Amino acid sequence: MAELNFNHLRYFWAVALDGNLTRTAARLSISQSALSTQIRKLEQRLGVDLFERRSKGLHLTEAGRIALDHADAIFAAGRDLLGTLRQTGSARHAVRIGALATLSRNFQIGFLQPLLRRTDVEIVLRSGSAEELLRGLQSVNLDVVLTNQAPDIDALTPFIVHSLSSQHVSLVGAPALLGATRTVAELLAIHLIILPTQGGSVRTGFDALADRLGLRPQIAAEVDDIAMMRLLVREGVALAILPPIAVRDELAAGLLIEADELPGIVETFYAVTIDRRFPNPIVRSLLDSARDDRQ
């Protein structure tokens, strides 16, 4: 390994993790041209291109992803060595998780639960749009993406989609607003409704249900953020179409009531990974734990 310059590898590693040459150069206090030179020298030594240089920035090639996996292992081993010699124990292992910005926080906490008391694991949690997160997964800046929207899969986007759980979707509202028990059709006919925005499976299912019932619900708000829907329905001026897990605490405290399940409408939660030569073992343990909880 004497022929491999580890300074070149560390510069590559830093750029690959940041995903941006300019930002990495500023963080490392070196010029962008000097950083580019170091990466080119590594590419020449390895005989492969590690990045595809496109108009919108740098994207890891397949060889680059392999190199990043090796760099992760090499520098993690270095941290372990330092920790051992300093008698501080082994280094903490990082797991980088992306979550759709609109995803239920309660679901996210449930998925992360097995890690929350582990002192050997550092959780890096990032939120964003589906496009941003899947791009981060492909560039190996994320280890797993949590979503309720299964991505399209083809030969160019080899995502692995793990179905974690499904929740029925209900009509939820404040006790004072619901009053005496009524049918779903009656409730939808007389109350304002808070709905998720168009495009998701829950909204599509609700629109089909309303059509079957011959109803044109009065829409109070269309919201793409589950946390905001929670706050709005707690105001007590409208009912909301939500999976109960999103308002679990409010239901337990009696602040909200689950009026009824909406027939045939479910929200499915997924974990999305990508085929990697060196997958993060923490992700595998999380997926196994989620599957055990379903059984």
**DSSP secondary structure string, 92-107?**
PEEEEEEEETTS-HHH
Q: What is the pLDDT of residue 1?
A: 44
Query: For residue 53, is pLDDT > 60?
Result: yes
Say yes or no: 100 and 223 in one domain.
no
Say yes or no: 124 and 171 in one domain.
no
Say yes or no: 218 and 262 in one domain.
yes
Say yes or no: 139 and 16 in one domain.
no
Q: Give the CATH number of the domain where residue 286 resides.
A: 3.40.190.10
When comparing pLDDT for 178 and 195, which is higher?
A: 195
* C-alpha distance across the termini of the chain, in Å: 47
Query: For residue 233, is pLDDT > 80?
Result: yes
- Residue 128 is encoded by which pair of tokens? 């964003």
Residue among 215, 213, 231 at smallest CA distance from 172: 231
What confidence category does residue 126 fall into, taking pLDDT thresholds of 50, 70 and 90? Answer: very high
Query: Whole-prediction pTM value?
Result: 0.62
Which tens digits make up the pLDDT trace of 252-269?
A: 999 999 888 888 888 889
Name the domain count of the chain: 3
Say yes or no: 184 and 155 in one domain.
no
Say yes or no: 31 and 145 in one domain.
no
Provide the strand spans (E) within 61-158.
Answer: 93-100, 121-128, 144-147
Q: Which of 72, 91, 110 is the last residue of a domain?
A: 91
Say yes or no: 147 and 184 in one domain.
no
Contacts of 91 (CB under 8 A, 6+ apart): 76, 79, 80, 82, 83
Share of the chain above pLDDT 90, in %: 25
Across the chain, mean pLDDT equals 85
What confidence category does residue 88 fall into, taking pLDDT thresholds of 50, 70 and 90? Answer: very low
Rounded Cα–Cα distance for residues 166 and 263 (Å): 14
Say yes or no: 81 and 146 in one domain.
no
Say yes or no: 154 and 191 in one domain.
no
Say yes or no: 57 and 8 in one domain.
yes
Q: What is the DSSP string of 240-294?
A: EEE-GGGGHHHHHHTSSEEEEEEEEEEEEEEEEEE--SS--HHHHHHHHHHHHHH
Judged by average pLDDT, the poorest of 85-89, 219-223, 226-230, 288-292 is 85-89
Host domain of residue 222: 166-269
Residue among 237, 262, 232 at smallest CA distance from 247: 232
| Residues 90 and 60 sit within 8 Å (Cβ to Cβ) | no
Q: What is the pLDDT of residue 181?
A: 62
Q: Give the CATH number of the domain where residue 18 resides.
A: 1.10.10.10
Q: What is the pLDDT of residue 80?
A: 62
Query: For residue 37, is pLDDT > 60?
Result: yes
Say yes or no: 185 and 244 in one domain.
yes
What confidence category does residue 146 fall into, taking pLDDT thresholds of 50, 70 and 90? Answer: very high
Q: Span 115-121, mean pLDDT?
A: 87
Say yes or no: 104 and 176 in one domain.
no
Which tens digits make up the pLDDT trace of 197-231?
A: 887 788 888 999 999 989 899 999 999 888 899 99
